[in-house]
Amino acid sequence: MDIADAHLLWDAEPGWLNTASYGLPPRQAFEELQAVLTQWRHGSSDWKPWDASVGRARAGFARMIGASPADVMISSTVSQIMSVVATALPEGAKVVVPEIEFTSNLFPWLVAADVETVPAERLAEAITDSTAAVAFSLVQSATGQVAPLADIVAAARAHGALVIADGSQACGWLPVDVSGIDALACTGYKWLMAPRGASFGYLAPDLRERMRPLAANWYGADVYYGPPLRLADDARAFDLSPAWFSYVGAAPALDLLNDLGIERIREHNVALANRFRTGLGLEPSDSAIVTVDAPGERLAAAGIRAAVRAGKVRAGFHVYNTVADVDRALNALS
């Protein structure tokens, strides 16, 4: 399918520019979820077919980021994933974090480490031999700024620091390869367009050896009763027991994103974002997220749903958006 026609796979009302808050499910994902909810309502199915969606979603996310499914844990929130990753750090470890970072990738480090905050564009140069880890978003929630990943990885490797990334505003539209990344956490309900309650974490094998499974449970071992402790020997040891219905919706959404191709989605999304920027007299950028000083009430009055973050209107453009959505927003602001 031509990426320009992919919006036909969704049932989005015109004017949804708020994917950075939550994404809209493709029709197949919504229908699969409704079918399972009907089974739940009537007690007409065992839970095991629902659970199969967890493995399908895990494999889909792994494919998206160039990882093995064995290196992907499943969870419900990014903060839970980051909190368990933090167990790999020694007491008093120094972690460098952007000064404007979403709290799910900030508070876990404030709890567990000595945090130094710096401007996002200075992350790489702030890493020194005393840095245990650098934790940052691949795309910033407040601004849409895309992190210079290659520079950060190079600096971290030169100083022996861990690279810990939040992909929540990136995975699903920005091509991501976990080469050089030690841990990557991503919530599913934004650009992956899954129900809230599905999240994914890439954990490099060397990192896992230093981590403790703080929320060890039956799902990480596929064992129901009794000692001894016997967890999986891969990233599944850190799984949370899954919210099945969230993964029932996540699996087909991930399959569709992978089939459409993340690079093609990136080109589509950034082209729409840059059309919006150009219409507002701004220079083009490399992000699907645009934050601008603009009268948000005008957008709301025109039926445009966007967000306000850090005092600015934040608009996000995804595969189901069209040129008509952009022009409608520009007309509202003109």
Rounded mean pLDDT, 36-58: 97
What token pair was written down for 279? 């219409």
Give the residue among 96, 95, 87 at the shortest CA–CA distance from 119. 96
Rounded mean pLDDT, 248-257: 98
User: What distance in Å separates the CA atoms of residue 233 and residue 33, rounded to the nearest whole number?
Assistant: 31
Give domain limits for the chain.
Answer: 3-26+262-333, 48-258
Q: Is the predicted pLDDT of residue 310 greater than 80, yes or no?
A: no
What is the pTM assigned to this prediction? Answer: 0.96
Say what the pLDDT of residue 297 is. 85
Rounded mean pLDDT, 255-267: 98
Q: Is the predicted pLDDT of residue 264 greater than 80, yes or no?
A: yes
Q: Which residue has the tokens 């407040």?
A: 142
User: What distance in Å separates the CA atoms of residue 159 and residue 253, rounded to the nearest whole number?
Assistant: 38
Domains 3-26+262-333 and 48-258 share a fold: no
Task: Check: CB of residue 290 under 8 Å from CB of residue 276.
Answer: yes
In Å, the largest CA–CA distance within the chain is: 67
Options 1.25.40.10, 3.90.1150.10, 1.20.1270.360, 3.40.605.10; CATH of 3-26+262-333: 3.90.1150.10
User: What distance in Å separates the CA atoms of residue 305 and residue 319, rounded to the nearest whole number?
Assistant: 16
Per DSSP, the residues of 163-192 read EEEE-TTTTTTS----TT-SEEEEESSSTT
Query: Count of residues for the chain?
Result: 334
CATH code, residues 48-258: 3.40.640.10
